[in-house]
Structure 1
Amino acid sequence: MWNKVEKILKERSLTIYKLSKMTGIPDNTLRNYRSKKSDPSFTNACKIADALGVSLDNLRERRDKQ
């Protein structure tokens, strides 16, 4: 998910700090998502999608079935 979020942030010239202010999610929490130390909860994933104006499905990284 975070790869897609970062792409959108870059396209819109937004920072993690700005996303934090837009979502109410602490800056440090967003940085943990970026460094893959943790995954966002469903609630936080929804906040991120809403703040970026995209559907949650657009942020979802599909995994190939094996």
Structure 2
Amino acid sequence: MYEKYEELLKKTGKTSYQISKDTGIGQNTLSNWKTGRSKPKIEKIKILADYFGVKVEELI
């Protein structure tokens, strides 16, 4: 999932910091997803999908 998230960051020119501020998903949470320490819950995936204007299925 994180790879798809990174693709959307590049596509939109956004940073993880901006996403964190705009969505309320903590930077630590995003970092943990990146390193594999945790997996995103469906609620957070839905927030990101809505934010980027994509379907949940595109992120998972």
> TM-score, structure 2 length as denominator?
0.91
Residue type at the aligned position of 2:54 = V
Greater helix share, structure number: 2
For residue 17 of structure 1, what is the aligned residue in structure 2? Answer: 17
In angstroms, what is the RMSD of aligned CA positions?
0.9
- 1:6-47 Cα offsets, whole Å, 9 max, x none, are 011011111110111121111111111111111011111111
Structure 1 unaligned blocks of 5 or more: 61-66
Runs of 4+ in 1 over 4 A off after TM superposition: none
> TM-score, structure 1 length as denominator?
0.83
Q: How many residues align?
A: 60
Identity of aligned residues (%): 38
Structure 2 unaligned blocks of 5 or more: none
**C-alpha distance in 2, partners of 1:25/1:48?**
9
